[in-house]
Amino acid sequence: MNSTAADVLRLLTVRGETVAVAESLTGGLVAMELTSVPGASKAFRGSVTAYATDVKHRVLGVDAGLLEARGAVDAQVAAEMAAGVRALLGADWGVATTGVAGPDAQDGQPVGTVFVAVDGVEGAHSDSAGGGKVLALRLNGGREEIRRESARSVLALLLEQLAGEQTGNERAQDTEQNGGF
């Protein structure tokens, strides 16, 4: 997973952009992956581990009615978490994870139900009402496997969004920094 985090941070740095993270089921794994990369401080603004549902509302600004109606494990909740942490920490990009790692179902959702979201700068690809992209996952495995795959998936989604946003000039700068390869 660390190579994905390194690629994300490299692209963010080339673009002069930053990222903030909102995590629920991953409990800090995404932030840990990003901060394990040397030089992460050039692009990583910070993170909020919003494990409790009320923290998603009070800190990240997720709509209370949405949380009450659908619970915390929901695509729109993930989108609002990503947008909320982006605004809260003043980042160009916000990413979020919410889901059920187990051992028990939550909010009527089975173990392995996960939503990861990216909320990005103007011009970002938009597939959701939250202004970013949300991916619904149905993961198998134990608690730790689900948590790690969720962290890997949100970083991969961000990398996909960043790669899709690059212009030719930014690609040239990126190639130059990597010895022309």
| Total count of domains within the chain | 1
Q: Is residue 154 part of a domain?
A: yes
Spell out the per-residue pLDDT of the chain, length 181, in tens: 579 999 999 999 999 999 999 999 999 999 999 999 999 999 999 999 999 999 999 999 999 999 999 999 999 999 999 999 999 999 999 999 999 999 999 989 999 999 999 999 764 443 433 358 999 999 999 999 999 999 999 999 999 999 886 644 344 344 333 333 3
Quick one: what percent of the chain has pLDDT higher than 90? 81
For the chain, what is the radius of gyration of the CA atoms? 16
Q: Is residue 175 part of a domain?
A: no
Q: Is residue 23 part of a domain?
A: yes
In angstroms, the Cα distances linking 11 to 16, 116, 158 are 8, 20, 10
21 bridge partner residues: 47, 95
Q: Is residue 57 part of a domain?
A: yes
Q: pLDDT digit string (tens) for 61-93? A: 999 999 999 999 999 999 999 999 999 999 999
Q: Is residue 172 part of a domain?
A: no
- Domain range spanning residue 27? 2-167
Q: Is residue 181 part of a domain?
A: no
Q: Is residue 155 part of a domain?
A: yes
For residue 154, give the CATH number of its domain: 3.90.950.20
DSSP 80-99: HHHHHHHHHHT-SEEEEEEE
Q: Is residue 38 part of a domain?
A: yes
pTM of the model: 0.87
CA–CA separation, 26 and 44 (whole Å): 17
